[in-house]
Amino acid sequence: MFQPLKEILSKKPRQDSFGVEVNVCDLWHKYANQVFLSKIIDSQEAISFREGILVISVNNSMFLNEIKRKTPRIVKKINKELKKENKEIKEIKYR
pLDDT digits (tens, 9 = 90+) for 31-90: 999 999 999 999 999 999 999 999 999 999 999 999 999 999 999 999 999 988 888 999
pLDDT digits (tens, 9 = 90+) for 41-55: 999 999 999 999 999
46, 29 in Cβ contact below 8 A? Answer: yes
Fold of 15-94: GMP Synthetase; Chain A, domain 3 (3.30.300)
56, 92 in Cβ contact below 8 A? Answer: yes
Positive or negative, the Cα torsion across 10, 12, 13, 19? negative
- Domain parsing of the chain, residue ranges: 15-94
Confidence of residue 3 (pLDDT cuts 50, 70, 90): confident
- Using CA atoms, how far apart are residues 87 and 95, in angstroms rounded to an integer? 23
- Using CA atoms, how far apart are residues 35 and 47, in angstroms rounded to an integer? 18
